[in-house]
Amino acid sequence: AQSVTQLDSQVPVFEEAPVELRCNYSSSVSVYLFWYVQYPNQGLQLLLKYLSGSTLVKGINGFEAEFNKSQTSFHLRKPSVHISDTAEYFCAVSRSGTASKLTFGTGTRLQVTL
């Protein structure tokens, strides 16, 4: 079975500052990794995904994440955040090679202020 840990439940940051949201996973097999974003009162939207290949993955809205197999991490970064990035961010994992179920982390609330 896979599991995901998002250590930071809330991350406050000023607009135009960089941000990193941390995600660590646990699995005995190869995995796919995902970041989803949930804006207030909306469903989840896929931000980016790692399936294979390059460990640096670029997603929508200027976000990127780096897959680090040795540290079992998949941290999300953005060099300069905007007010509109205020949302809940979820890291998720599934077993690779199959269309298997997603396991989600507990989420990180990114609060961007002026």
Partner 1 sequence: NAGVTQTPKFQVLKTGQSMTLQCAQDMNHEYMSWYRQDPGMGLRLIHYSVGAGITDQGEVPNGYNVSRSTTEDFPLRLLSAAPSQTSVYFCASRHRTSGGYNEQFFGPGTRLTVL
Contacts (CB under 8 A) with partner 1, residues 15-54: 32, 41-46, 49, 51
On whether the CB atoms of residues 104 and 90 are closer than 8 A, the answer is: yes
Applying CB under 8 A, does 106 fall inside the site for partner 1?
A: yes
Residue span binding partner 1 (CB under 8 A) among the ranges 54-62, 64-72, 75-83, 102-110: 102-110
On whether the CB atoms of residues 66 and 35 are closer than 8 A, the answer is: no
Token pair belonging to 44 = 């989840």
On whether the CB atoms of residues 90 and 107 are closer than 8 A, the answer is: yes
**Least CB distance to partner 1 at residue 44 (A):** 4
Applying CB under 8 A, does 114 fall inside the site for partner 1?
A: no
On whether the CB atoms of residues 114 and 60 are closer than 8 A, the answer is: no
Of residues 12, 100, 1, 89, the one with CA closest to residue 45 = 89
Residue span binding partner 1 (CB under 8 A) among the ranges 53-61, 62-70, 72-80, 98-106: 98-106
Q: Give the footprint of partner 1 on this chain (CB under 8 A).
A: 4, 6, 9, 32, 41-46, 49, 51, 90, 97-99, 101-102, 104-107
